[in-house]
């Protein structure tokens, strides 16, 4: 398959990890349909690949139709769906949290992933494509004040396993991107102190002050490698961005 006729769909593509993933696809010669609620900054391509912006809210059913139509309109083969859009909100202890904010967390982090994947399944089956869901280490280890985020990312891991079980033509993987220097970290530092446990909050403060937060380009490269090369044997797995399974690809 010619890469110039291949399309990757990336949600949350306007900034952070999503933007870095879109940029890496372009470097690899893969066209990108970049889905975001705001217009992304201009991305540079050293290849013939193109970035196609799609302003959409993944929690809006009408917008999901527009995403599908935009992908079909390109006439390209959809080889990958990267479900990257997500939210940390609410940062709150369970005893204090507003339940509507919990519902919104699951709408963004879980339901929207299922809904968009469902819409795109016919295209992904046709290409024997891959679905990469951006998860978190919080899916397997609780943080005080992050109950909605932890629970929704744990649910996302199970959704990934379910896709892998139900869709034999598709490879589905959940990826832990590590602690990345994005807007989410800014939110943690500015809003997390009251709800988080002191030692957990201090860990994120230290990563920032010591300059040891990951740059988005590192997990982005791992995502794109999986999206282009992950074998069927990896389907359903939850892997870290620097896992041996990813290191072994292309070797």
Helix, coil or strand: residue 219: helix
On the question of a cis peptide bond just before residue 90, with omega within 30 degrees of 0, the verdict is yes
Q: Which of 6, 14, 105, 135 is catalytic?
A: 135
Catalytic residue among 14, 77, 92, 153: 153
Do 235 and 171 touch, CB atoms closer than 8 A?
yes
Burial class (CB in 10 A: 0-12, 13-18, 19+), 139: buried
The number of residues making up the chain comes to 251
Q: Is 208 a catalytic residue?
A: no
136, with CB counted inside 10 A (0-12, 13-18, 19+), is buried
Per-residue b or e along 8-40, where b marks 16 or more CB atoms closer than 10 Å to that residue's CB:
bbbbbbbebbbbbbbbbbbbbebbbbbbbeeeb
The residue from 77, 149, 152, 235 that is catalytic is 149
Say whether 135 is catalytic: yes
Map residue 233 onto helix, strand or coil.
helix
Q: At what angle do helices 147-166 and 99-106 cross, to 10 degrees?
A: 30
Answer whether 69's CB lies under 8 Å from 113's CB.
no
**Which residues are catalytically annotated?**
135, 149, 153
């Amino acid at each position: 398959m010619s890469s110039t006729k291949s399309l990757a769909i990336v949600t949350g593509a306007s900034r952070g990890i999503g933007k870095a993933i879109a940029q890496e696809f372009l470097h690899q010669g893969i066209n990108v349909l970049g889905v975001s609620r705001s217009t992304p900054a201009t991305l540079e391509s050293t290849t013939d690949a193109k970035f196609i912006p799609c302003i959409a809210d993944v929690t809006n059913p009408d917008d999901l139709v527009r995403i599908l139509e935009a992908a079909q309109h390109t006439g390209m083969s959809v080889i990958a769906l990267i479900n990257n859009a997500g939210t940390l909100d609410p940062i709150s202890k369970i005893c204090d949290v507003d339940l509507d904010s919990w519902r919104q967390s699951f709408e963004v982090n879980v339901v929207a992933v299922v809904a968009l994947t469902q819409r795109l399944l016919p295209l992904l089956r046709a290409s024997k494509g891959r679905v990469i869901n951006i998860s978190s280490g919080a899916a397997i280890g609780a943080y005080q004040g992050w109950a909605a985020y932890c629970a929704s990312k744990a649910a996302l891991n199970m959704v990934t396993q379910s896709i892998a079980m139900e869709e034999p033509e598709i490879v589905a993987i959940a990826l832990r991107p590590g602690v990345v220097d994005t807007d989410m970290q800014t939110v943690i530092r500015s809003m997390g102190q009251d709800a988080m446990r002191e030692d957990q909050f201090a860990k994120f403060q230290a990563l920032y002050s010591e300059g040891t937060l990951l740059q988005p380009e590192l997990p982005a490269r791992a995502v794109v490698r999986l999206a282009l090369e992950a074998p069927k044997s990896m389907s359903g797995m939850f892997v870290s961005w620097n896992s041996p399974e990813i290191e072994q690809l292309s070797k």
